[in-house]
Structure 1
Amino acid sequence: MSLRAFHIVFVTVSTLLFVFLAVWAFALVADRSTMVTTLGVVSAIGAVVMPVYGIFFYRKVRNIVL
Structure 2
Amino acid sequence: MIGRILCTDHWRCRFQPKSGASFDKAFIVELLDRCVKENIDTIKTENLYTFDGKPGFSLGQGQ
Judge same fold: TM > 0.5, yes or no.
no
Q: Which has the higher contact order (CA 8 A, sep 6+)?
A: 1
Query: TM (normalized to structure 1)?
Result: 0.28
Structure label with greater radius of gyration:
2
Higher strand share: 2
